[in-house]
Structure 1
Amino acid sequence: MLYGRSAESGTLDEVIARARAGHGGAAVLRGEAGAGKTALLDAAAGHGTDARVLRATGVEAEAGLAFAALHQLLWPVTGALDALPAPQRDAVRAALGLTGETAGDPYPLGAGVLSLLAEAAAPHGLICLIDDFQWVDRASAHALLFTARRLATERIALLFAVRGDTPVPGIPLTVQVGGLPHAAAAEMLRARHGVPSGVARDLIAATGANPLALDEIAARLSPAQLAGTAPLPDPLPGGARLFGDRVAALSPGAALLARVAAVEPEVGPALRATGLLHAEDSGRAGPLADAGRTALAELEEAGLAELHGARLRFRHPLIRSAVYEAAPRAGLRRVHTVLAQLTTGDRRAWHLASAAVGPDERVAAELVAAAERARERGGYGSAATALARAAELTPEPGPRAVRLKDAAVAAWLGGRPGQAESLLAEAREQPGTDTALALEIARLRGRFELNAGDATEAVRILSTGDSIGMLADAAEAASYAGDTAALIRLGRRAAAHPPGFLRDTVAGIGLALDGDPAGPGLLRRALAQARAGEPREAAEYLWAAAAAGQLGETDLAAGMAERAGRVARVSGMTGQLPVVLEFVATAERLAGRLASSRAVSEEGLALAREAGYPNTVAAHLANLAVVAALRGEQEDCERLAREALAIAVPHRVGLRAGVAGYARALLDLGLGRHAAAHERFTALTAAGPGATSPAVVWRIAPDHIEAALGAGEEAAAREVLAAYERSSAHATTPESRALLARCRGLAHSRAEDLAEALRLHTNTFEAARTALLLGERLRRARRPAEARGQLRRAAETFERAGAGPWARRARDELRAAGGGGPAPVPAVLDALTPQELRIAGLVAEGLSSKRIADRLFLSPRTVEYHLYKIYPKLGIGSRTELARLVVLRKAPVPEADRL
């Protein structure tokens, strides 16, 4: 029976009830040892009526074993694996050791855990209980938290119990489990031990009403002490270690088994090791199992441990602590040595490591092998732990540095950037590190800095290398920082390398920025190589996008970015997906697909936060701010821009800071505040590295010209045009020529240039921007009949895109031209949530629910749930109708996809 926990139980019952109704969620129970977290989990399991219950408990001895906790949780439901999409199924099987294949990336694994639990939840719901989360291995923890953040449409309640300050990121609901209310504590003492109120008051004051402490101490008091006729002992029995006296009272055999179980919870090896150690201590041979069984019976009778399947589980973690603290260090090492003889694989490696008393290359090598197995199964956090311990045991500084470096990479991939940086710093300090290793470590430092730190520092670090790979990384960092001078220097250095796609791109960008006529030729050659070679990696498409962007061809760059996104999703290298989605979201926004751009950025934002990539977080926030500006959502635009700048400015990521600043300027422009917009655009153009980027300055030029003219600053508009003409001198795609024609038409008041721009446009949204400007000019030239057609076209396009301010401006102009305003064109896709929009887009591509689940790291059941929400919102009833609707609402395919 639970005493005094109605509020905590009520909260958990609500989470479970919502999950059973199809609104899954997670909660964290947080409190000190003995507060009653496990009892609350037990009660929650019982309140789920016919819901299925799965359970796992973190064990300190298994914290280094990849997927140990996940194995506990999922083993009863592995029969449902065949229902999962193939990549998810294979990832889960690999993680659980059911196949020799590798899991590789954490996203398919996390999605696979979600899908498997969703299958287990049918038909009555599922309650997953994770006890002692502070000791759950990192690989399992990552997969479980990934799942917990995606339960909104599942019939799953995921409850974590954790001691102390161990973080459980991304779970907003936390239930603090402290001492019992005094009345409830007194009632528990009276009901269980007959303690009168006066004695109960003293015990409550001495224990902080911790229920375990109260129960254990009361059980050790004499009848007179319980009755209050004799004083309570001072100190109270148990003290800090409530179970110390009970552990000390065990027979030698039971104490030995307890010691073994403290480091090896699997009952088979534990009993065999106890038998061997007992025979060794007693000096006589005999049936090894007998000693273990006798000891196990004593532990169970004493209420200290119990068999739970194939595991020997202490009744409370503090019992294990008491056993461990009472054991001599040499005795524990001896236990580990024997267990190493009885176990294999990862368990053997960790037992050997725990038995080691100094550097030992043989043991270190076994840990490295364990790390490799963990890494192949997607357990990067566990691999990092094993490699770090292997480094400690490595005698020679050179191999030690290599293992620290590998541990840093695994920690980074496991979403622990702080640990990665610490390990890399330790690797740098190892004496005698060779030049090649030093450069490899420097490259990693630079990449870490670029993703999570100061972009200009990343440029400095990466510029120390001279390989084309490091020069390319340095150029990437310089582009993020907005450092033109560095890009030019790096381009000159890259030009000294043999020709090749990457060399031509990096050299071409630098030379083009420096005004060298060889630069554009190199970029054209790189793009030809990209087309001919059909890049297999997303990064290659992004470099092709950079080459196109430097040439002034935003439409081609956008097409390459979209291809990068498709490759990243299907290549099995989804760890780079948050970064790739920065560019995909931008491409969608430039195409005028605002709802799609927002959906992509929200997905990228969630993945970037999970991966620990703050600079990528800033990128997605900045793009969301621009989308909000185009939609006229002032408060959202300002908030998102502030959040992006709060990361980008101190990290000196000029590219993202510039985009966030652009969002504010574009908001002013869309709302007709031309003077404010011109002021913001001018400030962005004048800002230096770390605060903006030449790429941003170039891309905003058409908007800047429009704002300057609206503010009456004609000279400024022509100055911006001159710079834009120089940067677009080598652009040849129709869309790039259309934008240039529009800018000339505005700056020089030539309607024929605007008409030429309309003829050239391939981007429907930009065509609408030009049509609006031309229609305004025609109306002011007293040619209303011609103006009305252009303005109606613009208004309809803006309505479909959800660009409210621009649609209102077009409608107002149309009414002024005597058109009376167009019939509203409902932006039907705006009715969809970002998740629904992503699913609708993939349905239009012809993907099944399983394939969509695989692409978006969801369960197939979640996909089906969203489809049944989408149909009534759009007034349709089938996938075919949905696909037709999505295709009709999409802008024409960019030129890059017609190559």
Structure 2
Amino acid sequence: MGEHTLADQGEPGSRGSSAPGRRGRAPEWRLIDGLIAGAPAGHGGVLLVEGPPGIGKSRLLDEAAAAAARAGLDVAGGAADLLTQPIPLSPLMSALGEEPCTPSASGAAEQRLRAALERRAAARPLLLTLDDVHWADPMTLLALRSMTRDLSSYPLVWMLARTTGHGDGRRVGHLFDVLTADGATRITLRALDEAAVAEVVADVLGAAPEPDVLDLAGLAAGRPSLLIALLDGLRGEGVLRVGDGRVRTVQERLPRAQAVTGALLRELSPPTGRLLRAAGVLGRSFAVQDLADLLGEPTGRLMPMLEEAISAGVVQAAEHELTFRHDALWQAVTASIPAPVRQALHRDAGEMLLRRGGSAVPAAAHLIRGATPGDAAALRGLDRAAREVLRTSPGTAADFALRALELSGPADPGWLGRATTAVDALTAVGRLPEAADLARTALGMASPAEALRLRCSLAHILLLSGRPDETLLEAESVLAQSGVPEDLRGAAEWAMFWGLICLNDARPGRQRAREVLAHRERHTDAVVVGALLLLARLAVVDGRVANSFQHLHEALRLTNRGAAEPVQRPYARLLLSLNHRAMRQFEASELAVRAAEEEIQALGLTVLAAQPALFRSVLRLAAGELDDAADEAQAGMTIAEELGTHGCVRVGAAMLALVALRRGDLDAAVRHVERYHAVHAAPGMLFGSVWERWATASLAEAQGDPDRAVEILDAIYTDAGERRWALLTTPVMAAWMTRLALGTGNHAYARTVVDTADVLTRENPDFPVVGVSAAHARGILHGDADALAAAVTDQPEPWARASAAEDLGALLAAAPGDADRERAVHHLDQALGDYQHIGALRDAARVRARLRALGVRRRHWSQTQRPAFGWDSLTDTEREVAGLIAQGLTNRQAAERMFLSPHTVSTHLRRIFAKLDIASRVELAGIVAEQHPALLRH
């Protein structure tokens, strides 16, 4: 055979197009093949891929997608992009074929994405690849964190790739760390070794490489993408020659400076080269019309150059756009543009998009990279984009405003306005320390009028940071001024009202709130809503639940018409949830929390993201679901710690302490209470004063120091308003506090609690459940068996019902007579069963001791009746979840049916899988159908 150049024979392809991607990647492909093979059996998983640029991540994802398709999986793929980073959820939306998400619809878009993923994964095993995660927007990163966990029971395989050292490395690195801790597999791609490089060269060129070719291939530094792009370019130039099954270079030496860029692009005409550089600035994918407008040329005049670029294999068609064929090609083109030219092109692209009208967000993505200090036009574009998305996508607004601040100094007339926008945006996404620092900096150079707005913002920051006392000082400093604009006066009054609520000291604002309602026409809706929420809180303090509900429903009516502050809607719904829970209306309470959560997501109020989970934790504890209560509390704390919302961290720690005490784990309870005390925030934030005091008092009592417990609760025992609030919002405390007071000889305290409970019963005839707690407390104080029996019969809370049965059993056990002894054993057995059913092991142990004193021995329930593994180890809730999932319901549908959050359903499924030693919904459905078919008929 004679020699010939590779350009003469075109693509060799003798080894198959997928071979190069597997060379030197055997361990990685074993993992990928295992995930793909497991998906048809119902298994999912998460694979995280990272490494430097050009190392082959994109090719790995592409070939994994091809392998998954051959195996019969549904495949979806997308990539984050530097220029679409300001658009929330853009990578996931494009991957799933959803319409691009506008910032104003980001909350609804996330729900739509979850539903789409559940539908597709339920219908057919799915591989979802997401490339360049380092460029992903904050909402995408949050969605990935939650979706990979919440949808882990589906046959859904995730492959996420990021380039190290690019984009938001800290945040993406944290995401990868969290996902790894949650069970994801993480691989770091390394440069190919010499043997793998030689194999790739042979695969691509169809012949064994001579040393000179390998020397040239070494310029790619073992990075597969760069290597393949280089070989493709050199082959197209005809500088490689094949003979006798070997490939060698025609030229003895190629200039190293052109080895990557020159070899790929040198044959293009200068006009096409210039066009491609402009296209590269628009992104790896670009619209032809955008390119024409940027260059100021009609589309027809660009056609010859575009055709040349397509023929040369540099760009190719991709639906409605053109895209660079290799990421390495795009990088090579953009890297060849001198930095000042690239910056100018970005600025021109931004101005071009602004001239078109419409949203300023796409233009701002270019202006961030193209503007120079003092560039007035670019700053106006960034300012406009930041204001445009402030309410709907505050994370994006923060990026735009902060960049604009970098480009302008304090002497710039627009600097203070940008600082104010940045403060508001940073606050909304939970970057509270940054927001506070910037607000204080801006205050130092603001005029008196400008300072008012900044002080209102600072008041809100302090409130969310768990410092409501400082919030009141800032709000009052604004209200003390004369001539304050109505919107700022409204914001300050709202901050003052909410600060008083969070301090659990709303009484000072009572008269002011009444004055606002008496003259509504003088005030903004935000002020009126703040007054209504304060009065709703005070109505509970006064012991009038119906009035509280009335104020809350009126507040919601005002917020729903859109004139109040957006943040007030979720707050109102959370207060409503609190009232419903107190009245044991668990379903209504869950619906209110769910509505608040949806509004928080829809409004982009990341700073409030921890609160729904904490409210659900309280609700789950009342319902006797300790695992769920702990999961929700931990989820809320995790989010709060990331955001720096310290009041939420305190509430979460208190809830975890209460759960630990119920389980009998005093060591864990001590750790959680220590965590609670270590957080620097005002106690009682988020209506948590009772939960927090009860947690610390319960621990003191459990440690054998009941006097300390009474001391902790002294304010509730001695203050009528505090007592009414505690007994209505946490009804089980009435009996517990009565018993504690009697046990420490504080009979007056016990009588005070019972008297208050009886008054609350009379004043709330529309809520008979209030009387149940009163009957329990009264039965303890007076030794009234009939009152205790009524509490046992009517009590809807499992733990409180068990407590009433225990008190009744203990009372009867102290009475003479066999009949009383038999009744005592009956009620103690009832208490033992209820305690054991919800996992209240410490209480169950105490009841077993009471039974032993009566000569009755009961085995430890957790050892004899509920094993650690197998179907019998499942709780009733877990069995219900299993039945619904086996019927084909999605997590979200099951959550709606059970009045749980999808997160809670996902947590139950992980426990079910562990207990049954399975890893898929398919296996679960098989077990239910074969062994427990009755669950399929519900």
* TM-score over 0.5 for the pair: yes
- 2:80 aligned with 1:58, yes or no? yes
- 2:838 aligned with 1:801, yes or no? yes
- Which shows bigger deviation, 110-119 or 247-256? 247-256
Q: Is the 8 A contact 2:372 2:407 kept in 1?
A: no
Distance in 2, matches of 1:314 and 1:413, equals: 40
Q: Is the 8 A contact 1:243 1:318 kept in 2?
A: no
* SS state at 2:23 partner: coil
Distance in 2, matches of 1:657 and 1:275, equals: 63
1:269–1:813 distance in 2 versus 1, CA, 3 Å: same
Q: CA RMSD in A?
A: 5.7
Deviation at 1:178, TM superposition (A): 2.8
Aligned to 1:784: 821
Q: Is the 8 A contact 2:293 2:352 kept in 1?
A: yes
- 2:24 aligned with 1:43, yes or no? no
Deviation at 1:20, TM superposition (A): 3.9
- Which shows bigger deviation, 110-119 or 739-748? 739-748
Distance in 1, matches of 2:898 and 2:306, equals: 49
Aligned to 1:14: 34
* SS state at 1:9 partner: helix
Q: Is the 8 A contact 2:738 2:777 kept in 1?
A: yes
Q: Is the 8 A contact 1:275 1:291 kept in 2?
A: no
1:428–1:22 distance in 2 versus 1, CA, 3 Å: farther
Aligned to 1:539: 571
- 2:351 aligned with 1:323, yes or no? no
Distance in 1, matches of 2:859 and 2:595, equals: 41
Q: Which of 155, 171, 176 in structure 1 is aligned with 2:179? A: 171
Distance in 1, matches of 2:462 and 2:118, equals: 38
| Residue identity matched to 2:704 | A
Q: Is the 8 A contact 1:706 1:746 kept in 2?
A: yes
Aligned to 1:109: 109
Deviation at 1:227, TM superposition (A): 9.5
Deviation digits for residues 475-520 of structure 1 (CA, Å, limit 9, x no counterpart): 645665xx56x655555765665557753763796899xxxxxx73
Q: Is the 8 A contact 2:734 2:773 kept in 1?
A: no
Deviation at 1:33, TM superposition (A): 1.1
Deviation digits for residues 743-789 of structure 1 (CA, Å, limit 9, x no counterpart): 56656777687568668856564243133123213213334144234
Structure 2: unaligned runs, 5 residues or longer: 1-19, 242-246, 480-488, 519-527, 561-568, 717-721, 867-871, 910-919
- 2:272 aligned with 1:254, yes or no? yes
Q: Which of 430, 434, 449 in structure 2 is aligned with 1:434? A: 449
| Residue identity matched to 2:164 | G
Deviation digits for residues 240-270 of structure 1 (CA, Å, limit 9, x no counterpart): x964786688643123112211222324125
Aligned to 2:43: 23
Q: Is the 8 A contact 2:350 2:362 kept in 1?
A: no
| Residue identity matched to 1:813 | R
Q: What is the 5 A alignment of 1:328-727?
A: 328=341, 329-330=343-344, 333-334=347-348, 345=359, 346-348=361-363, 350=365, 379-386=393-400, 388=402, 401-402=416-417, 404-410=419-425, 413=428, 428=443, 431-432=446-447, 434=449, 438-451=451-464, 457-458=470-471, 460-462=473-475, 464-466=477-479, 470-471=492-493, 473-474=495-496, 476-477=498-499, 480=502, 489=508, 497-499=516-518, 502-503=530-531, 506=534, 520=542, 525-530=547-552, 537-540=569-572, 542-543=574-575, 554-555=582-583, 561=589, 564-565=592-593, 567-568=595-596, 578-592=610-624, 594=626, 597=629, 601=633, 615-616=647-648, 618-620=650-652, 622-632=654-664, 637=669, 645=676, 649-654=679-684, 659=691, 662-663=694-695, 666=698, 673=702, 675=704, 679=708, 682=711, 702-703=735-736, 706=739, 714-715=744-745, 717-718=746-747, 721=750, 724=753
* SS state at 2:190 partner: coil
Deviation digits for residues 703-742 of structure 1 (CA, Å, limit 9, x no counterpart): 4664576xxx633x44753774697696335655654665
- 2:322 aligned with 1:311, yes or no? yes
Q: Is the 8 A contact 1:387 1:407 kept in 2?
A: yes
Q: Which of 803, 822, 825 in structure 2 is aligned with 1:769? A: 803
User: TM-score, normalised on structure 1?
Assistant: 0.71
Distance in 1, matches of 2:808 and 2:296, equals: 91
Aligned to 1:134: 134
Deviation digits for residues 824-869 of structure 1 (CA, Å, limit 9, x no counterpart): 89999824449939979x999xx96696699846899999969958
* SS state at 2:842 partner: helix
Distance in 1, matches of 2:118 and 2:402, equals: 36
Aligned to 1:162: 162
User: TM-score, normalised on structure 2?
Assistant: 0.69
Aligned to 2:286: 266
* SS state at 2:160 partner: strand
Distance in 1, matches of 2:124 and 2:888, equals: 29
Q: Is the 8 A contact 1:110 1:857 kept in 2?
A: no
1:726–1:189 distance in 2 versus 1, CA, 3 Å: farther
- Which shows bigger deviation, 131-140 or 522-531? 522-531
Deviation digits for residues 74-112 of structure 1 (CA, Å, limit 9, x no counterpart): 33xxxxxxxxxxxxxxxx65x447xxxx86452x42232
Distance in 2, matches of 1:855 and 1:746, equals: 34
Distance in 1, matches of 2:893 and 2:126, equals: 26
Distance in 2, matches of 1:492 and 1:718, equals: 36
Deviation at 1:152, TM superposition (A): 0.8
Q: Is the 8 A contact 1:578 1:616 kept in 2?
A: yes
1:469–1:434 distance in 2 versus 1, CA, 3 Å: closer
1:387–1:639 distance in 2 versus 1, CA, 3 Å: same
1:398–1:555 distance in 2 versus 1, CA, 3 Å: farther
* SS state at 2:750 partner: helix
1:202–1:680 distance in 2 versus 1, CA, 3 Å: farther
- 2:848 aligned with 1:836, yes or no? no
Aligned to 1:282: none
1:271–1:288 distance in 2 versus 1, CA, 3 Å: farther
Deviation at 1:160, TM superposition (A): 1.8
| Residue identity matched to 2:593 | G
1:649–1:350 distance in 2 versus 1, CA, 3 Å: closer
Distance in 2, matches of 1:838 and 1:531, equals: 36
1:352–1:602 distance in 2 versus 1, CA, 3 Å: closer
Deviation at 1:184, TM superposition (A): 3.6
Q: Is the 8 A contact 2:533 2:555 kept in 1?
A: no
